[in-house]
Structure 1
Amino acid sequence: MAKKLVIIDTDCGIDDAQALMMALAAPNIQILGITCVYGNASVENVCQNILRVLSICERDGIPVFQGCAGPLVGASSSRTDHFGTDGLGDVIKDKDPRWKEKIQREHAVDAMIRLVSENQNRVSLVALGPLTNLALAVRVDPCFPQKLKDLYIMGGNMEGKGNLTLCAEFNFAMDPESAYVVLEEFLCPTYLATWEYASRNSLTWEFFEELINQDAPAARFMKTITSKCWAYSREAMMKKRGVYFPGCGFVSYDSYAMAACVDGTVVTESIECPVRVELQGSMSRGMLALDRTNTLKKSHKVFVLTKCDSAKFSQLLLESLRQPCNK
């Protein structure tokens, strides 16, 4: 069976690294390229983080492209310390001074357009960060979305509950205009793994301990980068995320979108409806609105994921940290 062709657009923080390793471990996935965008860290740190993950998994041959360093319009939003200042928990001291030589010279947006044009209707695009690169791609090539097979997004929210602002999820809040453009103009089949979807399908903290204590380089790497990160503290998350989702356990946000791409049967329920991103509200800017009553009269609908098969998802996570297989 032919492998599924995938481009991963990422602002590589810890959960992006986990999602990337899930794709690297999947036998049915061929990664054509990885495009980097600002978000969890500066785009320069994102590039370095991706290179480190590929090195850990001994997959250095996958091309990495540097993309947008800020939002489509306006000034950059201030980043949070959710995954540390470098995106990987601020525990890695030995930086690669020659990392720029390992990044492709082609801009991420140009690479995205080229790779999809060379493989029309065969590429799945998985977007794990702010959607700036995608929005710019459709501005450069208005036909870009119709050349995609499908699009998987980690971002947005279903109920107006925010994790960066009062009403907006991080990726959409970082660049609301780009999120708006993508969800209005990308008419390919689109799957949204929202903040609530990930949080409501959390795994136990006991599973997290099992996950990172496997005897493999990728697991040891994940254990290291989560070791001092408050976002992987059970106590911290009970006080923060637990306000909205009592009893919520371990959540690897970006992995939920990646799992849907790797194995569609992981998703057991979804809502198919039009959506729109709010741009004007003083408290709701960046919030995703679900139009379940067809008030907006939009013809295009997206799949907003709601429930997943926890056993299948857990297995994909476990396999993702057993890399490389010969070590």
Structure 2
Amino acid sequence: MADLKEKVIIDTDCGVDDAQAIVIALSKQFSDTIYVIGITCCSGNVFVDQVTINVLKVLTVLGRLDIPVYKGCEKPLIPSDLDTTHIFGEDGLGNVKDIPEPDPSMVQSESAVNFLTRISQEKPGKITLLAIGPLTNIALACRLQPNFGKCFKKLVIMGGNYQGIGNTALCAEFNFHFDPEAALVVLSEFTSPIIMITLEFCRKYFMSQKFLENCLNQGTACSHFLQKITARSRQLHTDGKYGLPIDKITIYDELAAAVVVSPSIVISSEHVFATVELEGKYTRGQMVIDWRDVLKKRKNVSIIKEINFELYKSIFHKALQ
């Protein structure tokens, strides 16, 4: 039966939005069609050791500790000092104290990058790779295995921006700005299809506080867990710290997970050439798109432009049941 399911690997820097994306990917509503074969971890929202603990916490709540977790890169290809603990807390999951600590020894001894290169050769063309953190692990796998970027059914990335409006940087989205060199390597060297959930796309869609509260009050172990870990970021929204209407909640990695588990959710996309700016004083890490085909380069990414958001809301609500 597992051979008939869509095989997925999740590469993550597990903070609150990543945790919710994992919940969607492992939702029972997709248990007949989606098979997550591993979760690889890298630094980003928090240091990678904490990321592995966070992933294990999520898997514990979901009763899915059968899924192997792999520790990956501790630093971006060129070290940076980016810090998002003011958003997600020191632990990346809202500094919640009454969540049981999982056993760190459950993390696999094989490194994330070795796992990725190995599995790419064992199951070429069979795996969807969902990247919801910086692309460090994936870039290093490209360097270790020359044909790595050819070996996947598709790569779905939450990252990048193209309108020059950043989040943690002036002009760049966090995942790309954390490791711009890795993002450049992946966009340049992957020939498997790349589907991108950009910052601009995510800012088109918001969940209302009322709808989110309805989802979080379902009385399940999963909804109770997410209610705890999202409390800090929800309060920041309420306090107006994000510069958005206080009744709106932004969603990021969750949208990428929804595109993987339910591809029919996509209404429109555009196939373009994209690269990453490395040298700009203010624009380092910004994704650059050749909208007018001036460079005559291979169109390497599909930018998602519109989804069925009502379907997304249904997916998210059911995932917490």
Conserved? CA contact 2:154–2:192, under 8 Å: yes
- Does residue 72 (structure 1) correspond to residue 77 (structure 2)? The answer is yes
Conserved? CA contact 2:158–2:196, under 8 Å: yes
1:158-197 CA deviation, whole Å, 9 max, x = no partner?
Answer: 3111001110000001000001111111111111101111
Distance 2:174 2:221 in 1: 30
The residue type equivalent to 2:112 in the other structure is A
Distance 1:144 1:67 in 2: 17
Query: Structure 1 residues 231 and 276, CA, compared in 2 at 3 Å: closer, same or farther?
Result: farther
The aligned runs of 1:98-247 (5 Å cut-off) are 99-227=103-231, 229-230=232-233, 233-236=236-239, 238-242=240-244
Report the counterpart of residue 22 of structure 2 in structure 1.
Answer: 20
Name structure 1 gaps, 5 residues minimum.
Answer: 323-327
Distance 1:94 1:312 in 2: 31
Query: Structure 1 residues 52 and 249, CA, compared in 2 at 3 Å: closer, same or farther?
Result: same
Distance 2:238 2:13 in 1: 26
Deviation at 1:126, TM superposition (A): 0.2
Conserved? CA contact 2:236–2:242, under 8 Å: no
SS in 2 for 1:297: coil
The residue type equivalent to 1:83 in the other structure is F
Query: Structure 1 residues 239 and 49, CA, compared in 2 at 3 Å: closer, same or farther?
Result: closer
Query: Structure 1 residues 247 and 90, CA, compared in 2 at 3 Å: closer, same or farther?
Result: closer
Distance 1:174 1:267 in 2: 28
SS in 2 for 1:164: coil
Deviation at 1:71, TM superposition (A): 0.3
Report the counterpart of residue 39 of structure 1 in structure 2.
Answer: 44
Report the counterpart of residue 325 of structure 1 in structure 2.
Answer: none
Distance 1:117 1:111 in 2: 10
Query: Structure 1 residues 232 and 292, CA, compared in 2 at 3 Å: closer, same or farther?
Result: farther
Please list every run of at least 4 consecutive aligned residues from structure 1 whose deviation after the TM superposition is greater than 4 angstroms.
none
**TM-score (norm. length: structure 2):** 0.94
Deviation at 1:239, TM superposition (A): 4.7
The aligned runs of 1:57-68 (5 Å cut-off) are 57-68=62-73
Distance 2:246 2:65 in 1: 39
Conserved? CA contact 1:125–1:151, under 8 Å: yes
The residue type equivalent to 1:178 in the other structure is A
Deviation at 1:110, TM superposition (A): 0.4
SS in 2 for 1:222: helix
Deviation at 1:251, TM superposition (A): 2.1
Counterpart among 88, 94, 104 of residue 89 in structure 1: 94
The residue type equivalent to 1:21 in the other structure is V
The residue type equivalent to 1:41 in the other structure is V
Name structure 2 gaps, 5 residues minimum.
Answer: none
Query: Structure 1 residues 38 and 179, CA, compared in 2 at 3 Å: closer, same or farther?
Result: same
Distance 2:270 2:243 in 1: 23
The residue type equivalent to 1:272 in the other structure is H
1:43-71 CA deviation, whole Å, 9 max, x = no partner?
Answer: 01100000010010001100000000110
1:101-133 CA deviation, whole Å, 9 max, x = no partner?
Answer: 100000000001112221110100000000000
Count of residues in correspondence between the two structures = 315
Deviation at 1:290, TM superposition (A): 1.4
Distance 1:232 1:119 in 2: 43
Distance 1:94 1:262 in 2: 28
SS in 1 for 2:73: coil
The residue type equivalent to 1:33 in the other structure is G
Deviation at 1:78, TM superposition (A): 2.7
1:21-56 CA deviation, whole Å, 9 max, x = no partner?
Answer: 101112211011000000111101100000010010
Report the counterpart of residue 320 of structure 2 in structure 1.
Answer: 321
